[in-house]
A and B are shown apart, each in its own frame.
Chain A
Amino acid sequence: MAQAVATRAVRDLLHWNATGVSRVPMQVYADPGIYAWEQDLIFRGPTWNFLGLAIEAPNPNDHFTSVIGDTPIIVVRTKDGSINALVNRCAHKGATVCYQPTGHGETFTCPYHNWVYDHSGRLVSVAFEKGVQQLGGMPKQFDKANHRLTRLRVETICGLIFASFSERAPPLEQYLGPVMTGHIRRTLHGTPKILGRYRQMMQNNWKLYAENARDNYHPSLLHAFFATFELNRLSAEGGVRQDEAGWHHIVFAKRHTDQGHAEYESGVIRAQKREFGLADPSLIDQWMEFDDQITNSIQCLFPTFVLQQVLNSIGTRQIIPHGPEKSELVWTLIGFEEDTEAQTYMRVKQSNLVGPAGLVSMEDGIIGNFVQRGIKGDLDAQAVVMMGGVDVGPAPTRATETSVRGFWRVYRELMDV
């Protein structure tokens, strides 16, 4: 199964002349042929793709729908409690079998001609298979065993569900490596519960957001909220962590590194009014949730998953491509069952910092569109990704684009260009 049907070979479409990843051809953000190949080589390639949270299907026979790249997916909790992922495309005519975002049932029935599938994707029933009154029906050579919903590999970590189309992807933990799995376990330290979910449409190629989330060069420059309100403690210690292969990236900061140690261990760290230009500085009160004193971390897993910690606002972001010039973010804000009422309230209040209305993050919803508009007519031009050198690797500073280069290195490898 493939999407790049009848398109030209990827090397004929994508001309990546420079060696390395410090220059990126603008055509990768706009070319429909390249987009089609990404579906096959990235989203159906040797990658693990985020689908949602295990708590979205809490009980046996619960299911919900998601997507990987362009492909619609059903995620179901089976009778024995395990999780399966199936392509949401009836083997008959290709209709989406599940058209509602959530549901419950022992089987899936396609609404079009009532073909029925079990939770492993096996076709168990075809309406009028034997015809009506000995007339019509499927011919003898039709065998239900030859028709099914495509089943994906599934693995979970800390209640995050990932799936892969490819047998070539290593097991999830190996794919992520110890630095990434350690950071996921650190951030998702309790029993997750969903505090809110929303979506954001962006008028830009999906990779512009994948880069943006890895780009620690831009936040203090584009997102003026912190600087304007003199929240100057945010100019604190920070850096970049990566897995050994450089596929996945964490950018982090420690807001309170200039304070005494005792305060890290106390409860809520009060924003001090004299330092802040906010009329209500309680917005950025926080409790030191993590022993590592990291107050902001954005963890990006290749290709399209982000795990965020912005003060005490924890959440996931799933990037969904919608053609070469459009993409979508699904935001899920998370708390933990173990949280106190006050802690939940703080997470709710700090949700003002993130999302399409986020005081800090709203610009990310438009900046990709500024690029998308800027490159029109110059698709042979190249972006410059040289901050902090030309290599890929961890760094003790945020004045670097090493993680953006990391993204492009994997991209070139998987696209074979």
Chain B
Amino acid sequence: MSDGGFRPSLDPREISEQTCRRIEALVADCAAVIDGGQLELWPDYFTEKCLYRIIARSEFEKGRPIGFVFCDNRNMLIDRVRAMRSANVFQPHVYRHVLGPPRIVRRRDAVFDVETSYIVIRTAMPGGAMDVFSAGRYLDEIVFEADVPKLRSRTVIADSDSIDMLLVLPI
């Protein structure tokens, strides 16, 4: 099954070494901040007007708009974090993201299209049970805003259309 089509990486000679490194750092940090539990910092990796969604691969292929999460601005990301901190009831757990190498597949003027595979291991606390909670890839649009790389759009394409119990931490 296709999940939107394979796109080969750009020839690295077309992008400066420094730009590459900064894009890679953004992708890595955005996962590390979730794993590290500093969720309040997570929205800062996005532009103010942004798109963040989590959708199953089968649904993405069908072109359906609704997935598990749909946020169209940074304030919605902030509300997600605040709801998680203050309102939602769930068994405490942590994520460990394991990312593949970010692949820069296209450059459209100031926008870089970047794709990264991920695996998220969810560990329940207490109890210690560890499960592969989600695997899939990020489809990112990254821009430089005042010379800082930011996510203008991130579509998390989860390979499974099923969630075990609930999804409260972002992927």
List chain A positions with a Cβ less than 8 A from chain B. 194-203, 222, 224-225, 227-229, 277-280, 283, 328, 333, 344, 347-349, 351-352, 355-357, 359, 362-363, 365-367, 369
Kindly state whether residue B86 has any CB partner on chain A within 8 Å.
Answer: yes
> B145-166: which have CB < 8 Å to A?
161-166
Are the CB atoms of A229 and B87 closer together than 8 Å? yes
* Most A CB within 10 A of own CB, among B66, B79, B87, B166: B66
- A367 CA to B89 CA, complexed, in Å: 9
- A369 CA to B93 CA, complexed, in Å: 15
Beta-carbon nearest neighbor of A224 in chain B? B87
Top 6 nearest A-B pairs by Cβ distance?
A196-B66, A280-B75, A279-B75, A356-B163, A228-B87, A357-B167
Kindly state whether residue B41 has any CB partner on chain A within 8 Å.
Answer: no
User: Interface residue count for B (Cβ, 8 Å)?
Assistant: 35
Beta-carbon nearest neighbor of B53 in chain A? A348
Scan B107-121; emit 1 where CB is below 8 A from any A CB, else 0.
Answer: 000000000000000
Are the CB atoms of B79 and A278 closer together than 8 Å? yes
List chain B positions with a Cβ less than 8 A from chain A. 54-56, 59, 64-73, 75-76, 78-80, 82-83, 86-91, 161-168
Give the chain A neighbours of B91 by CB distance below 8 A: 366
Beta-carbon nearest neighbor of B169 in chain A? A357
Give the chain B neighbours of A277 by CB distance below 8 A: 82
Are the CB atoms of A351 and B70 closer together than 8 Å? yes
Are the CB atoms of A349 and B70 closer together than 8 Å? yes
Q: A199-B161, A283-B79, A362-B167 are in contact. Are A194 and B89 (CB under 8 A)?
A: no
- A193 CA to B71 CA, complexed, in Å: 22
Beta-carbon nearest neighbor of B165 in chain A? A365
What would 28 A/B residue contacts be, using CB atoms closer than 8 Å?
Answer: A194-B64, A196-B55, A196-B59, A198-B56, A198-B67, A198-B161, A198-B162, A224-B86, A224-B88, A225-B88, A227-B87, A228-B83, A280-B75, A328-B162, A351-B67, A351-B70, A352-B71, A352-B76, A355-B163, A356-B166, A357-B69, A357-B166, A362-B88, A362-B90, A362-B168, A363-B89, A363-B90, A363-B166
Other than the given A198-B163, A357-B168, 7 more pairs (CB < 8 A) read A199-B162, A200-B166, A229-B79, A328-B162, A356-B167, A365-B163, A366-B91
Give the chain A neighbours of B161 by CB distance below 8 A: 197-199
Are the CB atoms of B79 and A197 closer together than 8 Å? no
- A51 CA to B26 CA, complexed, in Å: 44
Are the CB atoms of A200 and B162 closer together than 8 Å? yes
Min CB–CB distance A270 → chain B (angstroms): 16
Q: A351-B70, A359-B80, A359-B83 are in contact. Are A202 and B165 (CB under 8 A)?
A: yes
Give the chain A neighbours of B54 by CB distance below 8 A: 357
* Most B CB within 10 A of own CB, among A225, A278, A279: A279
Are the CB atoms of B79 and A196 closer together than 8 Å? no
What does DSSP make chain A's interface, helix, strand, loop or mixed?
Answer: mixed
Give the chain A neighbours of B64 by CB distance below 8 A: 194-197
- A71 CA to B67 CA, complexed, in Å: 27
Are the CB atoms of B166 and A195 closer together than 8 Å? no
Min CB–CB distance A350 → chain B (angstroms): 9
The 8 Å CB contact of A366, one of B73, B82, B89, is B89
- A194 CA to B59 CA, complexed, in Å: 10
- A366 CA to B56 CA, complexed, in Å: 21
Min CB–CB distance B71 → chain A (angstroms): 7
Min CB–CB distance A281 → chain B (angstroms): 9
Are the CB atoms of A201 and B70 closer together than 8 Å? no
Min CB–CB distance A171 → chain B (angstroms): 33
* Most A CB within 10 A of own CB, among B56, B71, B165: B165
Min CB–CB distance B29 → chain A (angstroms): 22
The 8 Å CB contact of B76, one of A283, A344, A355, is A283
Beta-carbon nearest neighbor of A362 in chain B? B166
Q: A195-B65, A196-B59, A356-B68 are in contact. Are A365 and B166 (CB under 8 A)?
A: yes
- A224 CA to B70 CA, complexed, in Å: 20
- A363 CA to B167 CA, complexed, in Å: 10
- A227 CA to B86 CA, complexed, in Å: 11
Give the chain A neighbours of B88 by CB distance below 8 A: 224-225, 359, 362-363
- A384 CA to B8 CA, complexed, in Å: 60
Give the chain B neighbours of A328 by CB distance below 8 A: 162
Min CB–CB distance B117 → chain A (angstroms): 21
- A355 CA to B167 CA, complexed, in Å: 9
- A203 CA to B75 CA, complexed, in Å: 33
Give the chain A neighbours of B83 by CB distance below 8 A: 225, 228-229, 359
- A80 CA to B96 CA, complexed, in Å: 53
Min CB–CB distance A309 → chain B (angstroms): 15
- A362 CA to B55 CA, complexed, in Å: 16
Min CB–CB distance A245 → chain B (angstroms): 34
Give the chain A neighbours of B90 by CB distance below 8 A: 362-363, 366
Are the CB atoms of B73 and A280 closer together than 8 Å? yes
